[in-house]
Amino acid sequence: MNTLEELRLTLERHAGGPEDSAGIAQGAEARAGSIRRRRRVAGSAVAAVLVVAAAVGVPVAVGRKSSEPPPPSSVVKPHYRDASQLSVAMADGSPFALTNRGGDGVGQFASIRNRGDITSPRPGEAGLNAGAELLAYNPGEFDPAKLKQGEQVTVAGHPAWFSTALTFAASNVVPEGIYPTIGWEESSGVWVLVYTSDDGWQGHEAGKKAQLTEVADDVRLPAVTGVRTPFQFGWVPQGLPVSYVSIRDLPGIDPDARIGFGKSGYPTMQDLASGWPLSVTSTPDTNRDWPTIKADLGSPATIGGRNVWYVPRPSTLNSSGSPTGADLVVETGNCLVYLSVPERDVIGERDLKRMATEMTVSSCTDAKSWKPPVKG
Amino acid sequence: MRFEEFVSARLAALMRYAVLLSGDREYARDIVQEVLARAMLRWHRIGAMEEPYGYVRRMVTNEFLSLLRRRRRVVTVPLEWAGEQRLTVEARPEADDEMWQVLGTLPRQQRAVIVLRYYEGLTDPEIAEVLRCRPATVRAYASRALSALRVELAPVGERKGVLS
């Protein structure tokens, strides 16, 4: 047996030192500035909800380089894909795989990782090319002028540009910063950017260019296909359309899916929980904390034989979302499904419970059984 | 108190607390940075409180416990980070510290209770306020955690000041 004194000493020993705090204050300041800018763009969450009907179909500039103005409004934007459709893939036999992919009305994003690292118990130690991040802008959504000031290179046989001078605006997809990037235009008019947001590339530009080129060579954009999720809804409040998707469905990685409904008050490719009028997230119920959290939630209601909890915020379930929002948790099969709203006065308990009533859920861990998020 | 003064005086303490909660320095930095950013935006209210540290510590705790936040991080972190986290226990020089390893396996609420009780020195009612639960729930978490940690409780008299 151990003693309380030993427990206290263990905590003291592992509590860290002053060196752990270096740079945090500056990071917090930058992050606060980023939040302020988002709020300026977004206005209030209520306002965001109110403009949904008017704004659907009018994509805002996103993840787009902040240094670059949006294309002139007269630019023709041929329809390429809906927000619920994705087209990014890796070439057959590539050592790289997409561990996460998604998109909205403006473009797509993906995380590309080395399969060797994915299957390794010690990823990164083998010194493999770790991969990169990807943005693919729908036709007419990206101004390549700044990129084209970079070095001309060749990717998979077509012209491309390598730049270390593109400024990325902050979002949950892209941390704010300047990153080495390779970009090119597909025949569809889609602009693809492959970049790394890792620190420490300065002084190693040539090595980064080689790594990014290796990744970019394997990127493909075949035909767009509709995204599939473990959950499928027969009814959605106000008929809100799918406006954002984020999927992890690679075998061997804990799968999950997140869907945003309606127009976000924030620029695109940003977080859902506070920006979309309605969002849905599903994860496998293997989180070891779930039994404890479940106990805290109290007695569930039952909808269609499933346990359901309606949790107004603020709550320990969701501390960082809008305090005027709410989450409905559905426990079903091997899935936990969260229906989240930033304004419970706009989309309330009754709406969320009706969604849960008219929801079918397949296996959270078997992506082959997934279906389109909304019944056609 | 101005925000800068608060950070200067309390950042190290917040980091120590977050490291103990999360068991991972990078994750702790992430949590504290996010919380301080949000606190900065509301500092006109938080700074006017009698005990801003207690409030910001509660923000850190909630951030750590937030289930939805954890999912978001998993999606956005680079692969190297995920690997680093997975290796935290076995790669650390203190890997032989059995109690620290067991702490890392506890459910988050239990770990939070242990850290708040035995590192931050809070009473059970105070912990209940931080975690938004009842003191009886705090005691139940503590009991389960101490059992997992194989900690033998000292006689009641010696515990005065911790449980009082």
Number of structural domains, chain B?
2
- For A271, nearest residue in chain B (alpha carbons): B72
Burial environment of residue A352 by CB neighbours within 10 A (0 to 12, 13 to 18, 19 or more)? buried
Which residues of chain A neighbour B107 with C-beta distances below 8 Å? 288-289, 291-292
Report yes or no: A167 at the B interface, CB cutoff 8 Å: no
Query: How many Cβ pairs within 8 Å bridge chains A and B?
Result: 196
Same domain, B50 and B129: no
Same domain, B113 and B161: yes
Inter-chain residue contact A15 with B33, CB threshold 8 Å: no
Same domain, B3 and B46: yes
Inter-chain residue contact B154 with A4, CB threshold 8 Å: yes
What's the pLDDT score for residue A2? 82
Inter-chain residue contact B75 with A246, CB threshold 8 Å: yes
B68, A338 Cβ separation under 8 angstroms: yes
Instruction: Average the pLDDT over each of A316-320, A355-359, B97-101, B150-154 and give the range with the smallest value.
Output: A316-320
Which are the contacts of A327, defined by CB distance < 8 A and separation ≥ 6?
A: A310, A311, A313, A315, A317, A318, A321, A338, A339, A340, A341, B68
Which pLDDT tens digits describe chain A residue by residue (376 residues)? Answer: 788 888 988 998 888 776 777 778 877 877 777 666 655 554 433 333 222 222 222 222 333 433 344 444 455 678 999 999 999 999 999 999 998 899 988 899 998 989 988 877 666 667 889 899 899 999 998 889 999 999 999 999 999 999 997 877 655 455 566 789 999 999 999 999 999 866 667 778 888 999 999 999 999 999 999 999 999 999 999 999 999 998 988 887 778 898 999 987 665 554 434 478 999 989 887 766 677 678 778 899 999 999 999 999 877 676 656 778 999 999 998 899 999 998 999 999 999 999 999 999 999 888 889 999 999 8
Which residues of chain B neighbour A279 with C-beta distances below 8 Å? none
Please identify, among B72, B91, B110, the residue that sits at the C-terminal boundary of a domain: B91
Same domain, B64 and B127: no
What's the pLDDT score for residue A1? 75
Q: Provide the chain A residues 318-337 that lie in CB contact (below 8 A) with chain B.
A: 318-321, 327
**Between residues A374 and B129, the one the model is more confident about:** A374
A130, A113 Cβ separation under 8 angstroms: yes
**DSSP class per residue in A61-107:** P-SSBTTSPPPPTTS-------TTEE--EE-TT-SEEEEEEEEESSE
CATH of the domain at B110: 1.10.10.10
**Between residues A317 and B8, the one the model is more confident about:** B8
Same domain, B67 and B147: no
Same domain, B35 and B103: no
Same domain, B75 and B102: no
Most distant pair of Cα atoms in chain B: their distance: 49
Which residues of chain B neighbour A34 with C-beta distances below 8 Å? 37
A145, A68 Cβ separation under 8 angstroms: yes
Range of the domain at B43: 1-91
Which are the contacts of A13, defined by CB distance < 8 A and separation ≥ 6?
A: B94, B97, B100
Please identify, among B91, B114, B144, the residue that sits at the C-terminal boundary of a domain: B91
The dihedrals phi and psi of A243, each to the nearest 5 degrees, come to -125, -5
Same domain, B1 and B70: yes
CB atoms within 10 A of CB A272: 27
What's the pLDDT score for residue A51? 28
Mutate to test the interface with A, among B2, B4, B33, B138 (most CBs of A within 10 A): B33
ipTM comes to 0.78
What's the pLDDT score for residue A21? 77
pLDDT in tens, B33-90: 989 988 888 887 788 777 889 889 998 998 888 766 554 443 333 333 333 333 233 3
Same domain, B139 and B69: no
What's the pLDDT score for residue B107? 87
Same domain, B111 and B161: yes
Q: Is the dihedral of CA A114, A119, A120, A123 positive or negative?
A: positive
What's the pLDDT score for residue A36? 67
What's the pLDDT score for residue B27? 85
Inter-chain residue contact B133 with A122, CB threshold 8 Å: no
* Residue A301 β-bridge partners: A308
**Three-class secondary structure of residue A161 per DSSP:** strand
Report yes or no: A199 at the B interface, CB cutoff 8 Å: no
Q: From CA B122, how far away is CA B136, in angstroms rounded?
A: 15
For chain A, give every domain's residue range. 69-225, 227-369
Please identify, among B91, B123, B148, the residue that sits at the C-terminal boundary of a domain: B91
CB atoms within 10 A of CB A79: 7
What's the pLDDT score for residue A61? 30
Point out the residue among A14, A256, A318 whose CB comes nearest to the CB of B19: A14
Mutate to test the interface with B, among A7, A135, A245, A294 (most CBs of B within 10 A): A7
Arch. (CATH architecture) of A227-369: 2-Layer Sandwich (3.30)
* Gap from A126 CA to chain B (nearest CA, Å): 12
Point out the residue among A99, A117, A289 whose CB comes nearest to the CB of B108: A289
Inter-chain residue contact A7 with B149, CB threshold 8 Å: yes
Q: Is the dihedral of CA A115, A117, A118, A119 positive or negative?
A: positive
B73, B30 Cβ separation under 8 angstroms: yes
Which residues of chain B neighbour A113 with C-beta distances below 8 Å? 79
Inter-chain residue contact A16 with B97, CB threshold 8 Å: no
Point out the residue among B40, B66, B71 whose CB comes nearest to the CB of A281: B71
Inter-chain residue contact A318 with B66, CB threshold 8 Å: yes
Inter-chain residue contact A10 with B119, CB threshold 8 Å: no
* Torsion of Cα atoms, B139 then B144 then B148 then B151, to 10°: 30
* Residue A331 β-bridge partners: A307, A336
Residue whose token pair is 């009082």: B164
Inter-chain residue contact A319 with B69, CB threshold 8 Å: yes
A370, A249 Cβ separation under 8 angstroms: yes
What's the pLDDT score for residue B86? 30
What's the pLDDT score for residue A343? 92
- Cα A328 from chain centroid? 20
Mutate to test the interface with A, among B17, B76, B109, B133 (most CBs of A within 10 A): B76
